[in-house]
Amino acid sequence: MASKATSKAGPPRADGNALHVPVLLEECVNLLGPALTAEAPVMIDATLGMGGHSFAFLERFANLTVVGIDRDPEAIELAGERLARFGKRFVAVRATYDDVSDVAAEYGRAGRADAVLMDLGVSSLQLDDEGRGFSYSGDGPLDMRMDKTGGPTAADVLASADKAELTRILREYGEERFASRIAARILAARAAEPIERTGQLADIVRDAIPAPARRTGGNPCKRTFQALRIAVNDELALLRRAIPRAIEAIAVGGRIAVESYQSLEDKIVKREMAKGATSSTPAGLPVELDDRAPYLRLLTRGALKADAAELQANPRSASVRLRAAERLRETPHTA
């Protein structure tokens, strides 16, 4: 499962990194803060990245311990350097975020965390490094793995998938209406030469999408690159496992906050939180059954979005959707 990570000594390369701007930081602090009032609270930052959110929480809550989870060894190293000043109050664990309940069992108070924060999607560390292959704005190797130590790359997927599979990936994970056209162009292009660079793929996608459709809706490559990233990293399957486990990982009275950046993620988060906030008492009974009462209380009305000030300061916050909930009781199957 998870492995504890240690950072190397040296200058804090991630400290003050201008490219890393935590999204909806104040909202996250306000939503999770009431759960961090114990003598020695524990918060799990399930998507550590460069440690921006963790840094803010550690600064504001003097007795807080943050356990940061990330599958990316580089993120673990950089965040470890940045947060080294907090000593034993910060622990980095290399794992995927569906290991959150195991991490809570090992590092939490009585096996539970007081709060869990999840900031989904690709981090600034990954997006701004052309060598990672996440961005369509430059030219780099088509990698897209959040953990570069193993597994197929985006180039591998493009080289091996047939037209039906490529179309499914683009349509299901990117909600791309021109999925079939793009898949056909990819097959034609790879027959001539391997597709190994982000610039190659971006050109193929632009040529496949009709000119009128390219004039609206932002960069036409966005959906294809999103779809490949999700497929390479198995993100939605991880998230479906992670959200219920994260809810289980928090103590009664604890809180969870999740930031999503595209509709497929937000639907999963919304469904799991709504499930916990809904009574399962059979219709028609005059009283609420104790073991069927909601085990979550929603803390946001719908999803919070970035306001004008945040959008101006941090354009990457444009698509964020923040949902949060409080744990009211044990869930039925653990009671």
Which residues, at least 6 apart from 264, have a Cβ–Cβ distance to it below 8 Å? 173, 175, 230, 236
pLDDT band for position 12 (cuts 50, 70, 90) = very low
Dihedrals phi, psi of 294, to nearest 5 degrees: -55, 145
**Residue 232 has what pLDDT?**
95
Per-position DSSP letters for 205-245, written without gaps between them:
HHHHS-HHHHTSSS-TTHHHHHHHHHHHHTHHHHHHHHHHH
**Residue 7 has what pLDDT?**
42
CA angle (139, 144, 147) in 5-degree steps: 135
pLDDT band for position 138 (cuts 50, 70, 90) = confident
Dihedrals phi, psi of 237, to nearest 5 degrees: -65, -40
Feature table: binding site? 51-53, 70, 97, 119, 126
Looking up tokens 């803060």, which residue turns up? 33
**Residue 128 has what pLDDT?**
67
Q: 261-286: per-residue pLDDT in tens?
A: 999 999 999 999 999 999 877 776 77
Residues of the chain with CATH 3.40.50.150: 3-125+235-334
**Residue 134 has what pLDDT?**
78
How would you label 255-288 residue by residue, b for 16+ Cβ within 10 Å and e otherwise?
Answer: bbbbbbbbebbbebbbebbebbbeeebeeeeeee
Top pLDDT among 219 and 69 is at: 69
The SS3 assignment for 155 reads: helix
38 touches 108 (CB < 8 A):
no
**Residue 42 has what pLDDT?**
98
Q: 87-136: per-residue pLDDT in tens?
A: 999 999 999 999 999 999 999 999 999 999 999 977 666 666 777 877 88
Feature table: binding site for S-adenosyl-L-methionine? 51-53, 70, 97, 119, 126
132-233 adopts what CATH topology? DNA polymerase; domain 1 (1.10.150)
How far apart CA 310 and CA 261 sit, in angstroms, is 15
β-pair partners for 174: none
Question: Can you give the pTM of this predicted structure?
Answer: 0.88
Report the CATH architecture of 3-125+235-334: 3-Layer(aba) Sandwich (3.40)
pLDDT exceeding 70 applies to what percent of the chain?
A: 89
Say if residue 162's pLDDT is above 60: yes
For residue 210, CA distances in Å to 136, 187, 214, 299 come to: 18, 18, 7, 43
**Residue 14 has what pLDDT?**
47
Per-position DSSP letters for 251-268, written without gaps between them:
EEEEEEEEEESSHHHHHH
Residues of the chain with CATH 1.10.150.170: 132-233
Which secondary-structure segment (H or E) carries 192?
Answer: helix 179-192
Classify residue 118 as left (phi > 0), alpha (psi -120 to 50) or beta.
Answer: beta
Count of other CB atoms within 10 angstroms of residue 308: 7
